[in-house]
């Protein structure tokens, strides 16, 4: 059973803080993704990674960066959190050649 875990379910940060969201998958998947989920907008892709140390921008990368130093771990970094980054953040992974994504439980981030 594929397991994607995220470091926190709820997080409250102040404007200007540096924020790290961690995602770990245990199925040796090559591809990992970070989305934000907002009502009325659905899921929007922030960044994805198809291999260790590789990353590609998604549709809304501004204000975010990512790190993938190990295959199982994909981190999302908010260099200087702003209130408009208050959202639900979802991590997902998938193996090569299979397009089904497996999602984590999400991190609800509130920036005050």
Partner 1 sequence: AQRVTQPEKLLSVFKGAPVELKCNYSYSGSPELFWYVQYSRQRLQLLLRHISRESIKGFTADLNKGETSFHLKKPFAQEEDSAMYYCALTNYGQNFVFGPGTRLSVLP
User: Is 36 among the residues that bind partner 1 (CB under 8 A)?
Assistant: no
Instruction: Please give the Cα distance from 98 to 81 (Å, whole number).
Output: 34
Q: Which is nearer to partner 1, 22 or 50 (CB)?
A: 50
User: Is 41 among the residues that bind partner 1 (CB under 8 A)?
Assistant: yes
User: Is 24 among the residues that bind partner 1 (CB under 8 A)?
Assistant: no
Contacts of 37 (CB under 8 A, 6+ apart): 43, 44, 87, 88, 89, 90, 106
3-state secondary structure 14-44: CCCCCEEEEEEECCCCCEEEEEEEECCCEEE
Exactly one of 29, 89, 106, 107 binds partner 1 (CB under 8 A); that residue is: 106
Pairing of the two strands 73-78 and 107-111: unpaired
Closest CB 19 distance from partner 1, rounded Å: 21
Closest CB 16 distance from partner 1, rounded Å: 30
User: Is 45 among the residues that bind partner 1 (CB under 8 A)?
Assistant: yes
**Tokens read off for 63:** 């204000």
User: Is 28 among the residues that bind partner 1 (CB under 8 A)?
Assistant: no
Q: Which residues bind partner 1 (CB under 8 A)?
A: 31, 33, 35, 40-45, 48, 50, 56, 58-59, 90, 92, 94, 98-101, 103-106
């Amino acid at each position: 059973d594929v397991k994607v875990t995220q470091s926190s379910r709820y997080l409250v940060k102040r404007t200007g803080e540096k924020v790290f969201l961690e995602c770990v998958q245990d199925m040796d998947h090559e591809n990992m993704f970070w989305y934000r989920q907002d009502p009325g907008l659905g899921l929007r892709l922030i960044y994805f990674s198809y291999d260790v140390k590789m990353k590609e921008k998604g549709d809304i990368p501004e204000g975010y960066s990512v790190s993938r130093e190990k295959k199982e771990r994909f981190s999302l970094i908010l260099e200087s959190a702003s209130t408009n980054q208050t959202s639900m953040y979802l991590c997902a992974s998938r193996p090569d050649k299979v397009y089904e994504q497996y999602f984590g439980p999400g991190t609800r981030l509130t920036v005050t």
